[in-house]
Amino acid sequence: MTQPQPAHQPATILPFRPPVAGNNAWVDAGAYLERAASQIGLESEILLLLRSPFREMHVEVPVRLDNGKLAVFSGYRVQHNGARGPYKGGIRFHPDVDLDEIRALAALMTWKCALVDVPFGGAKGGVHCDPSTMSEGELNRLARRYMQNISHILGVTRDIPAPDMGTNAHTMAWMMDAYGSANGYTPGIVTGKPVELGGSYGRESATGRGAVIVLSELCRELGAAPADMRVVVQGYGNVGAWTARLAHEAGFKIVALGDVHGACYSDDGIDVPAVDAWLAEGNALSQFPGTEHVPPSEIVTLPCDVLVPAATGEVIHTGNVRGVRARIIVEAANHPITLAAEPVLAKHDVTVLPDILANAGGVIVSYFEWTQNIQQFRWPEERVNDELRTRMMAAYAAVREESAANSVTMREAAYAIALKRVAQAIRLRGFV
């Protein structure tokens, strides 16, 4: 006789994704979450929900190259959590892009949007390619095809991309155009667009401006005059260049500026507008006259007070962290410090302004751009910059308060605040 069977067999729950050896970004993202969850005493069911992204998409992106050959790129869009609003996050064109990295960056966007209290969830996208080797025509075709292939999970109230490494306002214009061809004029489908196409004044400089706002505030609290603070900026793309320009304008002493080819270094300080003029003539950053050339591997260990990693992730790791001489690190890049390197910095009393705070200026102004698009209205640049400052200062104050109250680092404080907000949104929505 057969035994009576229970009405329902419990499903076998497999871990969503086992950690992949050698790829740290997603492993680190998980560790930050677990740490914040135990810090705030998060209930296990919400933690379970947040451990994995809501949706991951991997698309094939075929592009006809200028030489007539067909190249097929891998494109991704990961939507991490949407409890607080539509998914939001940039699109990266870079040779390091893979699903793990995009997952980690999508999770960072969830925490970033919650921390600075913009009504968005977190997402990220990317295409595994090397844009520095591609023509404008090839990039145009790549952007359009990628957009077409992910467009059914996007929407002005669903998921709104923006620029990130290797993409810019021009890329967003192509993506908006590709989306509009199928769906009608929809400027709010991407942010970080050219101003002529509905972009916001102040969006291009916003990430750098936000980073300088929090750095200035920290220095004010420490009683450190900007002129006495020697700053090294690693990365001279949109974020690094604007951070350097605005820090220079705010009176900080910029002693080194670097990119993938190396840095120019001068203890006497570097005239950033003169560097921009030098670059505009087609010259190399690391060859800026009157400065010393520093190889790329030595940029993060240069003598300075403030180090601003403003390019790729994981540039400060266990292999070089002991050489870091800065007192303050401003994470203008996403995830520039590996989890394993953190304790070394803490031991040496290095204050880290964490990425989800320090580089949140970009998504804050993306939020302003989106609201302007929805209202078909435009704010003057002063209003954008004032409201950006208000939000950055509020987030900074909240992080400082949480950090002091619980004797935790600013990263731990930032994650705790963000996680509480996301968890509360999940609870209020209800889930079964």
Residues marked active site are found at: 124
Please tell me whether residue 198 binds ligand GLU under the rule CB under 6 A. no
Taking CB positions, which residue lies at the least distance from ligand GLU? 90
Among positions 77, 80, 84, 88, the unique one binding ligand GLU when judged by CB under 6 A: 88
Rounded CA-CA distance 335/358 in Å is 11
Please tell me whether residue 90 binds ligand GLU under the rule CB under 6 A. yes
Cβ proximity to ligand GLU, 90 vs 226, nearer residue: 90
Please tell me whether residue 151 binds ligand GLU under the rule CB under 6 A. no
Q: Report yes or no: 91 and 125 within 8 Å, Cβ to Cβ.
A: yes
Please tell me whether residue 373 binds ligand GLU under the rule CB under 6 A. no
**Residues from 353 through 372 that contact ligand GLU (CB under 6 A):** 359, 362-363, 366
How many residues sit in the footprint of ligand GLU (CB under 6 A)? 12
Shortest spacing between CB 167 and ligand GLU, in angstroms: 9
Among candidate residues 98, 165, 213, the one with its CA nearest the CA of residue 334: 165
Q: How many CB atoms lie under 10 A from the CB of residue 9?
A: 7
Please tell me whether residue 335 binds ligand GLU under the rule CB under 6 A. no
Please tell me whether residue 131 binds ligand GLU under the rule CB under 6 A. no
Shortest spacing between CB 282 and ligand GLU, in angstroms: 27
Please tell me whether residue 191 binds ligand GLU under the rule CB under 6 A. yes
Shortest spacing between CB 214 and ligand GLU, in angstroms: 14
Shortest spacing between CB 56 and ligand GLU, in angstroms: 18
Shortest spacing between CB 278 and ligand GLU, in angstroms: 27
- Residue 377, Cβ density class (10 Å: 0-12 exposed, 13-18 middle, ≥19 buried): exposed
Q: Where on the chain is the footprint of ligand GLU (CB under 6 A)?
A: 88-90, 162, 164, 191-192, 334, 359, 362-363, 366
